[in-house]
Structure 1
Amino acid sequence: MLKNELDVTLQRAEILKEKPDQKQLGFGKYFTDHMLTMRWDKEQGWHDAEIRSYANFSLDPAAMVLHYSQEIFEGLKAYRGADDSVLLFRPMDNLNRFNDSADRMCMPRIPAEKVLQAMKGFIYLEREWIPKTEGAALYIRPAMIATEAALGVRPANEYLFFVICSPVGAYYAEGFSPTKIYVEDEYVRAVRGGVGNVKTGGNYAASIKAHTTSQRKGYTQVLWLDAVERKYIEEVGTSNIFFVINGELVTPPLGGTILPGITRDTVLQLAKDWGIPTCERRITMDEVIVAVENGSLTEAFGSGTAAVISPIGEFGYKGDTIMINNGETGPLAQRFFDGIQELQRGAAPDPHNWIVWVR
């Protein structure tokens, strides 16, 4: 058995899985041979860290996660460089955001730097699962759940942290082609003071109704409006959103109801590096419609770990179709998509030290 700085025990899987066709990966359909786990309780803190075979968990029916939804997660990717090296993109930002989520959900913080070291060892072990095809990567899902068997609304006294990995292709069936977005004005995602800025499962469960309705209408994703006035744009179901208006890059501000996206922050920083004017401000659908009509809005796109950049070709709002850039990918969306992917694969200069090498 091997150990690293977190005293992680390594137990290799006896039987390895057959790897899927890299041209037919989809998203979140296949999982690697191993997983990383560790447990927490009040007496011992974090303990029993282990890399072991991917397998089912055993949970008591009274496990508090099943009743009170103490659960958080993250999403990041491992990329294969041109020299066959393995890279992570801004992983500490993901782990720090994970701890922000833990604070809000009254869960224990993880030792982020030590967990990153353990994750690097885990990913290196699974390196043969990292796709070599363009646009594909190894998706990494850290998560934490409350495992104490008890009924009663309070913070649990026992937790399980785990990391699983999945080789993935493009998140959307359209690939990098423009998506169709339905603007939801009936259901809401988050309110100030709630958990809209936290990656917790309840946020996503609450969005499924609107998402399935939008898909039946032929749309790819949902654009959420604010919960009070139902007019201010917040975020898309799986990404933050950007508009290009009069040459300025505009995105809604963080204020407790929007997830602070790592890719969102990357876009804003790259825009500054490239001399592109940026503005974080409130923006309404009415403003978007007027800007489309007068030609000042030239493109819109989403940003997120799963799809990186998703150009938006049209919005569906109150029965009307609002076309963006004639339904075509805009030059800025293309530039961000290409630029971020080059960074993620170690093919561009990294002045912000975003890349972590697994080797």
Structure 2
Amino acid sequence: MTRPPAPLPSIFTGEYVRALEGVIGRILPVVGSAELMRAALEWGTHPLSAGLNLVFGLVFLLGFLGMLVFRRSRLLVIRLTFFGATGMALAFDALGFQLLPPGLNVEDTAYLVTARHIYLPLVMMVCSWLVFPSPWSQRLALGICVLSLGLKAAAGFQAVFSGLATPAGVTNLLVLHTLVVGSFYLLLQVLTVVYMRQARLEQERSVLERHAHVDDLTGLLNRRAFDHALNIAAAQVSRQPGPLSLITFDLDAFKRVNDTHGHPVGDRVLRDLAVLARREGRAGDVLARWGGEEFVWLLPGADRVAAARAAERLRAAVEAHDFRVGRVTLSLGVAVWRPGDDPQTLFRRADELLYAAKHGGRNRAEVDPGPPP
């Protein structure tokens, strides 16, 4: 049966939200102050326009104040500010003909197309894509588009009956408004489709990379990825000599677990072992499943003593852990990098030490004695 595609990754990651909050936090006070200044300059000549600008400015400044006060809910404050600003942008559409300069010819309604407030619905449509995840961003943008056109039409019809505009002028205005705002909405839709397609490709690429480097059962690196990490570590220690250790380990008598409890239980035991190994690993260590019940652990910067202690901690952790299948133990081989080593010789020595631990009684770590004198 075909699995449904995984949900697309949301753009609203923690990093994106922090960046959005930072940008909006800088924009709000600037735009709010600018709107208050415009209101002051137009108060004597266009009081209605000045009043709308005043409210616009207050919405932005209150949003900025809300971001300062409610620091843990800044994204919510941004979204509420968006709705307030959208309401004011639509108010310019509803009152557009009443904002015409005195003495304007009633046929010259093209003024509204080029006037300052025609861009407001477009700005709010863009903002919907910035501050809301899909599909709400598309729905809000479409809602703004439809409301803007509807309010402009209602204002136009009222203007015709009031003698502020002619039917031809209003029709011209509505056609242009539909083309401008509608085309902008379609452009945003195209950009959304492009983003979703790119997100899907990135998601598929990430899945392929994960399968290429990660063991599906345990979540550790797989053999191929570990070989690459071992080669890099070996090249570094060859250029700049320093300690490097490799531990190989596997579960004792694991076949008994599978035969007695079944492979699903055996898989759970392997996953539990991976969790314990991660817990004992240090930052910079490389853990991988080599195959079956055998694992490898690369410890850059760890000498013989440190690696032996790490192996013993893991052995003891496994012995003390309740795998719910009876007593489970671990055997380990600890090899230390020697001058003249390469990745193959280091791994071969660790593997030989692992088998020595098996033959020596199991549930123990066999540690590299170091280079012969």
Q: RCO higher in 1 or 2 (8 Å CA, sep ≥ 6)? A: 1
- Structure number, greater radius of gyration: 2
* Same structural fold, with TM-score higher than 0.5 when normalized by the shorter chain: no
Give the helix-richer structure, 1 or 2.
2
The TM-score with structure 2 as length reference comes to: 0.19
The TM-score with structure 1 as length reference comes to: 0.19
Give the strand-richer structure, 1 or 2.
1
